[in-house]
Each structure stands twice: as C-alpha cells, then as structure tokens.
Amino acid sequence: MSAVVMDGKELAKSLRVKMKDEVAALKEKGITPHLTVVLVGDDPASKSYVNGKKKASAEIGMESDVLELPDTITEKDLLDLIDKLNSDEKVHGILVQLPLPKQISEQKVIEAISPAKDVDGFHPINIGRMMTGQDAFLPCTPSGIIAMLNENNIEITGKHAVVVGRSNIVGKPVGQLLLNENATVTYCHSKTTDLKSYTTQADILVVAVGKPHSIGEAFVKPGAVVIDVGINRMENGKLTGDVDFDAVKEKVSYITPVPRGVGPMTIAMLLKNTIKAAKGLDLQ
C-alpha cells in the first residue's frame, strides 16, 4: 500500500478559484477585501512568506499591502500603528508577521489587533469563540488542515486524532478544531513519555514539533492519515517535514508532503478569513 499524497498546493489553487468569485461579488457591492501585513525586520523566511501572501491576494482580486518596519521599532510605535489600522475602514484584515524582535511583546501585539480584523485568528476573543464552537476567525494552519481532511473526504467523526505539539499557533487549536469535528483527541508534547504508544493509536496523526524526521515508520499505525506541519531546512538547502515521508508513506493511507502540503493551505485560509472580515463578522 502506498499513501494518497494530499497536494496542498493544488487544493489551495482550486479554493482560490472559488474565492475569486466571492471577491468579484463583493466588488460589485463596492467592497474590495483589503489585507495589511506588518513585517518587522528582514527575516528571509518571513519575507518569502509575506510575498506569497501578497501574490495569492492579487490572484483572487483582493487588495493587500505590506508595511515593512525596522527591527529597532519600539513596542509603542508598533501598537500605535495597529491602532491606526484598526480604525482604517479600508483595511479589513491585519496580520503582524511573527516572530517579532525581543523588545516587543507578541501577546500585546496580538491583543491590540481588533478581533474583527484578526485574520490570523490569534486574538483571545477568536480563540475563545473557537473553543466554544461559535463563529470566529480560525487560526489559518489548523483550519487549513481541517479543510484538507474534508476536501479529501476523510472521516473525522469518531476517529482518534493524536496531535504531536502544543503550540498556540498550531498544536492547541488544531486539536480543538478536530474535537469540534467530533474526533477523540490526544495531545502529545516534549514531556510525553512513550510517544510511540500514543502515535501508533492515531487514526489521524498531526505532527507539529519542528524536528526533521522525528516521526518514522515505527510511530504510525497502518492505514493512518498523517498531516505533517513541520517545515525544516536541511543542510543541503532542501525543505523537509517532521515526518520521515519516504519511510511512512508505504504504511499509511493519506499523507501530506513537505513542501506542497499544509503551507499553501495556510495562505488560502488567510485569504478566506480576509474575505469573511470584508463581509463583516459580528463578534459582539
């Protein structure tokens, strides 16, 4: 058995075609969805990611701009800028690219963005609404994972989902979204003893730890669905995931590659959230 490889790049492309129609319909009503990305410093990975967002926005007819700031900016100046963007009616979505320089509190920045413009889905109000199953802006990578499972007609209800990693950006929220879809969810992390005893029980295994090839063939159950969120650059310059793709793909039913897996879906969900923001999400 060789796994079906879930091509996130192709899926994101097909989703963008639908979004293009949504944007065109909004434009007819005089609304052009507008995303503003704030980039502090010149981290090459962040720059590349931001350029991808800008290109995808243009492709579906959405407006986007990137505000590039020096990494010496003070926390107060960044918070003042966010305040201005919050009150700018033309801006529907605000995204501050993480990580931020040491002098700036990421939590303060996340909480300063208006929940109604928080297209990253990180504001405590959106996280709280997600936890309680209310309408919200969902974090982009976790919601992209759910979209991949749904688009591939993978049953989530009643399945045992194991999430390896507990970050606020991926691990915790993807577990919650799987729970919202009626999976039974187990979280594993760096302090978990006997990781293999949990991962080999998983019908759906989501790995987001940032360690290349930390999950090998012995860690997966035959026929499992494996979602690899890790993006690691090897010494030879190639990108690879947290899962040993070549070893695992012969044992499981579905697997995401790295690259072309979860990454493109993250950007697609960001666009989806920005369109939703332009339509107006009532967060009262």
What are the residue boundaries of the structural domains of the chain, listed by start?
29-114, 140-262
Residue-level pLDDT at 48: 83
Residue of 53, 172, 221, 276 with catalytic role: 53
Look up 284 and say whether it is catalytic: no
For residue 32, give Cα distances in angstroms to 17, 70, 89, 274, 278: 17, 29, 11, 10, 7
Task: Read off the pLDDT of each residue in 266-282 and give the average, rounded to a whole number.
Answer: 92
Architecture of domain 140-262: 3-Layer(aba) Sandwich (3.40)
The answer to whether residue 283 scores a pLDDT higher than 70 is: no
**How far is residue 284's CA from residue 279's CA, in Å, rounded to a whole number?**
15
Q: Where do the H-state alpha helices sit in 113-223?
A: 124-131, 140-151, 171-180, 195-199
Q: Is 260 annotated as a binding residue?
A: no
Q: How far apart are CA 210 and CA 230, in angstroms?
A: 5
What distance in Å separates the CA atoms of residue 272 and residue 57, rounded to the nearest whole number? 10
> Sign of dihedral through CA atoms 234, 239, 241, 246?
negative
Over residues 169-183, the mean pLDDT reads 97
Q: Is 255 marked as binding a ligand?
A: no
Per DSSP bridges, beta strands 63-69 and 34-40 are parallel
User: pTM of the predicted model, to two decimals?
Assistant: 0.95
53 a catalytic residue: yes
- Told to judge if 120 belongs to the known catalytic residues of this protein, a careful annotator would answer yes
| 165 known member of a binding site | yes
Q: Does domain 29-114 have CATH number 1.20.120.1810?
A: no
Residue that has been written with the tokens 């591939």 in this structure: 152
**118, 120, 228, 242: which is the annotated catalytic residue?**
120
Q: Is 158 annotated as a binding residue?
A: no
Q: Examine domains 29-114 and 140-262 and report if their fold is the same.
A: yes
